[in-house]
């Protein structure tokens, strides 16, 4: 039976990425060696890093005065690296979920954190809009897609202070105006590559403004100066990321991706709103994530949750259980997920409604 992969992360990747990475693990760049056993300083691998950076720039239209880094440590290490490098006196954060809270917790070790707004009062089921970004802070930090709760900031905000965004789970899902951000970062394992590599897009001139000593590995400048080769980078995930970037370009780029993502999300939310058994976790359609579609059993059907998971899983729908903090279900429909899989899932929802 065909399996449809709705896991939230690590998650579905293009078959192109998997096939080419598998080949390179057997033999990389006609070297007669595996990608796993070559020097990261070989000219063949340096070409991989350079091409990945070039495609990042091309697909996202990244201006010249930004650097593109491939680091280890996950998005979670960025929660600490951001304040280490950029926090002087005060920073502002928007609290839209678990990942925001984790970023806030790390920042608090460096000084005063102004949480300008939070949607925690309603279990993070919406994006706060009624707030003003303070001007007396070093930066303003947001999480654009809240992987666990299924909300997303779908526009590039105007900020009077450097804007920093965790885009772990929606990078490359739509064109973004990089100029509006000072830093964009994320773990690769949601929409780009297997776990192990973290991308950081950083405006060079925001660095050098803090007095503290920064350990070399935590200092962005180290990695900018050494072009992500200060220490051994995650070779296999970077190679896989390059394949996904090539696939994205081949597909027509991010405007095309966005159109497909809108279409996939629209048909799935439409079914959730229509189907009497289910309801969305996110009432305002403007706040609904195009990447992680979260929903629960509708009122009166609460006892059917396990039955639906079992029903859907038996039909090849994998990874639809919601995160423990949100409950219910989560269908992650990242870039690599074809619309056919979304349609197959909708059919399963309709069959479940009929037999209930």
Ligand X SMILES: *Cc1c(COP(=O)(O)O)cnc(C)c1O
The residues annotated with a catalytic role in the active site are: 99, 166, 190
Residue from 76, 88, 219, 313 binding ligand X (CB under 6 A): 76
# residues near ligand X by CB under 6 A: 13
Q: Which two tokens stand for residue 175?
A: 């064109």
CB of 192 to ligand X, least distance (A): 11
Which part of the chain contacts ligand X (CB under 6 A), choosing from 14-22, 68-76, 274-282, 309-317?
68-76
State the SS3 of 110-167. Answer: HCEEEEEEECHHHCCCCCCCCCCCCCCCCCEEEECEECCCCEECCCCCCCCCCEEEEC
Judge residue 136's burial from the number of C-beta atoms within 10 Å of its C-beta, 0-12 exposed, 13-18 middle, 19 or more buried: exposed
Residue with the two structure tokens 């880094």: 69
CB of 145 to ligand X, least distance (A): 6
CA-closest candidate to residue 193, choices 336, 58, 332, 39: 336
Residue 218 CA to residue 84 CA, distance in Å, equals 8
Q: Is residue 75 close enough to count as binding ligand X by CB under 6 A?
A: yes
CB of 77 to ligand X, least distance (A): 7
CA-closest candidate to residue 280, choices 153, 125, 119: 125
Q: Is residue 234 close enough to count as binding ligand X by CB under 6 A?
A: no
CB of 103 to ligand X, least distance (A): 8
Cα maximum dimension of the chain: 65
Contact letters for ligand X, residues 142-161 (x by CB under 6 A): -x-x-x--------------
CB of 152 to ligand X, least distance (A): 10
CB of 80 to ligand X, least distance (A): 11
> In Å, how far are 6, 196, 241, 256 from 234, measured between CA atoms?
25, 6, 11, 29
Closest to ligand X by CB, 220 vs 308, is 220
Give residues 160-219 in contact with ligand X (rule: CB under 6 A).
166, 168-169, 187, 190
Give residues 83-122 in contact with ligand X (rule: CB under 6 A).
99
Closest to ligand X by CB, 331 vs 349, is 331
Closest to ligand X by CB, 192 vs 254, is 192
Closest to ligand X by CB, 9 vs 234, is 9
Cis peptide before 351 (omega within 30 of 0): no
CA-closest candidate to residue 26, choices 15, 16, 38: 38
CB of 99 to ligand X, least distance (A): 4
Closest to ligand X by CB, 182 vs 184, is 184
Q: Is residue 268 close enough to count as binding ligand X by CB under 6 A?
A: no
Residue 236 CA to residue 118 CA, distance in Å, equals 38
Residue from 11, 35, 49, 74 binding ligand X (CB under 6 A): 74
How, if at all, do strands 163-166 and 183-187 pair? Answer: parallel
Give residues 3-42 in contact with ligand X (rule: CB under 6 A).
9
Residue 67 CA to residue 207 CA, distance in Å, equals 11
Task: Classify the phi-psi angles of 159: left when phi > 0, otherwise alpha if psi is within -120 to 50, otherwise beta.
Answer: beta
Closest to ligand X by CB, 143 vs 346, is 143
Which part of the chain contacts ligand X (CB under 6 A), choosing from 57-65, 72-80, 171-179, 294-302?
72-80
Nearest 5 degrees, angle CA 314-CA 353-CA 300? 110
Closest to ligand X by CB, 35 vs 184, is 184
Helix, strand, coil % over all residues of the chain, rounded to 5: 40, 15, 40
State the residues that interact with ligand X by CB under 6 A.
9, 74-76, 99, 143, 145, 147, 166, 168-169, 187, 190
């Amino acid at each position: 039976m065909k399996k449809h992969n709705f896991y939230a992360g690590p998650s579905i990747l293009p078959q192109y990425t998997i096939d080419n990475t598998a080949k390179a693990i057997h033999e990389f760049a006609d070297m007669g060696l595996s990608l796993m056993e070559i020097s990261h300083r070989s000219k063949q691998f340096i070409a991989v890093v350079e091409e990945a950076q070039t495609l990042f720039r091309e697909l996202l239209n990244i201006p010249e005065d930004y650097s593109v880094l491939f680091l280890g440590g996950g998005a979670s290490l960025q929660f600490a690296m951001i304040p280490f490098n950029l926090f002087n006196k005060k920073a502002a954060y928007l609290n839209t979920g678990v990942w925001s809270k984790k970023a806030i917790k790390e920042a608090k070790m460096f000084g005063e954190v102004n949480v300008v707004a939070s949607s925690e009062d309603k279990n993070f089921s919406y994006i706060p809009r009624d707030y003003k970004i303070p001007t007396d802070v070093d930066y303003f930090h947001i999480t654009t897609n809240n992987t666990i709760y299924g909300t997303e900031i779908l526009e590039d905000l105007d900020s009077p202070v450097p804007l920093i965004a965790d885009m772990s789970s929606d990078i490359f899902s739509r064109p973004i105006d990089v100029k509006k951000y000072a830093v964009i970062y994320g773990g690769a394992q949601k929409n780009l590559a297997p776990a192990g590599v973290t991308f950081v897009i950083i405006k060079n001139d925001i660095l050098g403004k803090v007095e503290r000593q920064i350990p070399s590995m935590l200092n962005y400048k180290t990695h900018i100066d050494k072009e992500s080769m200060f220490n051994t980078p995650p070779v296999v995930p970077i190679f896989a990321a390059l394949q996904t970037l090539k696939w994205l370009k081949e597909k027509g780029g991010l405007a095309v991706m966005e159109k497909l993502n809108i279409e996939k999300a629209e048909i799935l939310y439409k079914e959730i709103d229509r189907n009497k058994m289910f309801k969305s976790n996110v009432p305002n359609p403007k706040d609904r994530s195009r990447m992680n579609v979260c929903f629960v059993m509708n009122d009166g059907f609460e006892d059917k949750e396990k039955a639906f998971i079992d029903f859907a899983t038996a039909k090849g729908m994998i990874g639809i259980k919601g995160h423990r903090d949100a409950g219910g279900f989560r269908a992650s429909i990242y870039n690599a997920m074809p619309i056919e899989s979304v349609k197959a899932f909708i059919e399963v929802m309709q069959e479940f409604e009929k037999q209930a």
